């Protein structure tokens, strides 16, 4: 039954994708061909317009067709690791820079949020004392920290990592505290009766019970981190998939922009699936 549902869902997804491509193609295809611009890409036509040349007789939407995007995908993936200087790197290298920043900022946030969340969840005193600070800092947009980070750190790459850290810490911290505080009292009472030491109780009783909630916080944090790193790299420039999007927009290469947007979505989905699998692995089913 479950396998049959997956097959039907896959068929419906494929049909939806085909419908989107069909509408996209006929919404962007040229209405009338013009020999003066035959073989030119939408970016080249736009450039000719900027140069003052008359290409008004060409009735195109200017938006790339699915075939244009397909050609760009093939071109980008044919040599994804090239490096021709600071402003011209392959898409794989750009993704590697972004993933490295996310991994580092996310890892530092884990080292801070999970132990602090344990402390808050196990101590009503610390929960009450730290709650005002959490409630004030949590709603601040991560990008609002970027000017302060650039001013104090004076390094765009480290500033990007700091922004990932500051946006990743709150979902993990709150979910960890909630998961620890929600551990069944019966289990804690049994551990207390058996005179289990606090450290052992934390690792063998509280952590397994709170693990699904903690991983949920990690999953939410990773989604936010991947969202923020793209915007942060657009601001600070240099390297990364966000910088690639902004640089290609400045070059009037809309096909590369759309390709990068699709790639960002695919990698975001893969990261979410990874944490979903991890969450399923740590969830105890009676």
Nearest-angstrom CA–CA distance, 100 and 161: 9
- Angle between helix 146-153 and 207-236 (nearest 10): 80
Give the helix/strand (H/E) hosting 87: none
DSSP string, 224-267: HHHHHHHHHHHHH-SSSHHHHHHHHHHTT-HHHHHHHHHHHHHH
Nearest-angstrom CA–CA distance, 228 and 170: 14
pLDDT on residue 112:
94
Nearest-angstrom CA–CA distance, 100 and 137: 25
- Structure token digits, residue 104: 């580092």
53 three-state secondary structure: coil
Nearest-angstrom CA–CA distance, 243 and 229: 10
81 three-state secondary structure: coil
DSSP string, 113-166: HHHHHHHHHH-HHHHHHHHHHHHHHTTS-GGGGHHHHHHHH--HHHHHHHHHHH
Nearest-angstrom CA–CA distance, 275 and 122: 25
pLDDT on residue 1:
59
pLDDT on residue 235:
80
Nearest-angstrom CA–CA distance, 162 and 204: 32
Nearest-angstrom CA–CA distance, 177 and 112: 12
Nearest-angstrom CA–CA distance, 60 and 170: 47
**Counts of helices then strands in the chain (DSSP H, E):** 12, 0
30 three-state secondary structure: coil
Q: Are 135 and 79 in contact (CB under 8 A)?
A: no
pLDDT on residue 286:
52
The conformation of residue 58, written as its DSSP 8-state character, comes to -
Low-confidence residues in the chain, pLDDT < 50: 31-35, 57-60
DSSP string, 49-66: HHTT---TT-B--SSPPH
**CA-wise closest residue to 206 among 285, 276, 117, 129:** 117
89 three-state secondary structure: strand
Residue count of the chain, please give it.
286
Nearest-angstrom CA–CA distance, 83 and 270: 26
pLDDT tens figures, 34-51: 445 555 666 666 666 666
pLDDT on residue 96:
92
Partner residues linked to 83 by β-bridges: 89
């Amino acid at each position: 039954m479950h396998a049959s549902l997956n097959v039907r869902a896959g068929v419906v997804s494929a049909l939806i994708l085909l419908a989107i491509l069909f509408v996209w193609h006929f919404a962007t295809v040229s209405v009338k061909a013009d020999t003066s611009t035959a073989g030119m890409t939408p970016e080249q036509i736009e450039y000719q317009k900027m140069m003052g040349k008359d290409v008004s007789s060409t009735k195109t939407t200017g938006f790339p067709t699915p075939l244009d995007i397909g050609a760009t995908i093939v071109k980008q993936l044919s040599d994804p690791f090239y490096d021709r200087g600071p402003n011209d790197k392959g898409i794989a290298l750009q993704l590697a820079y972004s993933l490295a920043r996310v991994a580092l900022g996310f890892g530092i946030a884990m080292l801070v949020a999970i132990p602090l969340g344990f402390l808050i969840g196990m101590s009503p005193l610390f929960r009450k004392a730290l709650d005002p600070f959490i409630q004030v800092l949590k709603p601040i947009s991560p990008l609002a920290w970027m000017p302060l980070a650039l001013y104090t750190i004076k390094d765009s790459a480290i500033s990007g990592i700091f922004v990932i850290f500051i946006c990743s810490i709150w979902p993990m911290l709150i979910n960890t505290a909630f998961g620890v505080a929600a551990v069944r009292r019966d289990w804690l009472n049994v551990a207390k009766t058996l005179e289990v030491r606090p450290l052992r109780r934390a690792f063998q009783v509280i952590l397994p019970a709170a693990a699904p909630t903690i991983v949920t916080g990690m999953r939410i944090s990773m989604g936010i981190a991947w969202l923020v790193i793209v915007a942060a790299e657009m601001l600070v420039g240099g390297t990364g998939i966000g910088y690639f999007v902004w640089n290609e927009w400045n070059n009037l290469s809309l096909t590369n922009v759309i390709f990068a947007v699709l790639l960002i979505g695919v990698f975001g989905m893969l990261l979410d699936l990874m944490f979903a699998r991890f969450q399923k692995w740590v969830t105890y089913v009676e």
